[in-house]
Amino acid sequence: MQLYAHPFSSYCQKVLIALYENGIPFEWRMLSPDHADVLAEYAALWPLQRMPLLVDGGRSVMESSIIIEYLDTHHRGAVRWIPQDPDAALEVRMMDRFFDNYVRTPMQGIVLDHIRAPAQRDVSGVADARKLLETSYRWLDGALARREWAAAGGFSLADCAAAPSLFYADWVHPIDPALANVRAYRSRLLARPAFARAVDEARPYRKLFPPGAPDRD
């Protein structure tokens, strides 16, 4: 399998966690300006150019959640990403959507605003993104009471989504110390070896973080 990805991308890290957790071998296809040939292959395979993209035996699989479901079906390992029980599976998928839509999307909105020219900055869009993050953090703090991972059945697709989204969200909009469940969950995710590896591999790229990376994980 080939994974077209960049180590600093939060959606790529989501899939890397699933690959590393189950020790699934793959070939890196690095998406960076230093690899014009790889960029051209990627654009031909997936004209929308949203990373990551997995290619398995000539079959292209796009969208991080779908890639992880694909791995669960075709490259199954010790950790199952979607529970067998249909109701438990719904909870995992719901939490996956929660992290992508209501943590990662506002986080990325704040990050991308730093790339805009000062005259193009979206002040009200950023204020809305910060408000959404506040609401998401508060809701999550309640959802995580007496729970180790995002969904009841154990480490899952939802935690793959959570780890990089909360990691970067806390950089751009720090989680209130009063939300102890969310902060402890973020620390547990950082201690998980598969995510710790993804974070380490991304360290050399921190200088690329548009708002400026803090001097901490």
- Positions that interact with ligand GSH (CB under 6 A): 9-11, 49-51, 63-65
Q: How far is the CB of 145 from ligand GSH (least distance, A)?
A: 28
Q: Which one, 112 or 152, has the nearer CB to ligand GSH?
A: 112
Q: Which one, 24 or 46, has the nearer CB to ligand GSH?
A: 46
CA 14 to chain centroid: 4
Q: How far is the CB of 64 from ligand GSH (least distance, A)?
A: 4
Strands laid side by side in the 2-5 sheet: 27-30, 2-5, 53-56, 59-62
Q: How far is the CB of 167 from ligand GSH (least distance, A)?
A: 12
Q: Which one, 18 or 51, has the nearer CB to ligand GSH?
A: 51
Q: How far is the CB of 4 from ligand GSH (least distance, A)?
A: 10
Q: How far is the CB of 20 from ligand GSH (least distance, A)?
A: 17
Q: Which one, 50 or 147, has the nearer CB to ligand GSH?
A: 50
Q: How far is the CB of 213 from ligand GSH (least distance, A)?
A: 15
Q: Which one, 14 or 186, has the nearer CB to ligand GSH?
A: 14
CA 128 to chain centroid: 21
Q: Which tokens is 141 given?
A: 């703090």
3-state SS record for the chain: CEEEECCCCHHHHHHHHHHHHCCCCCEEEECCCCCHHHHHHHHHHCCCCCCCEEEECCEEEECHHHHHHHHHHHCCCCCCCCCCCHHHHHHHHHHHHHHHHHHHHHHHHHHHHCCCCHHHCCHHHHHHHHHHHHHHHHHHHHHCCCCCCCCCCCCCHHHHHHHHHHHHHHHHCCCCCCCHHHHHHHHHHHHCHHHHHHHHHHHHHHHHCCCCCCCCC
Q: Which one, 55 or 179, has the nearer CB to ligand GSH?
A: 55
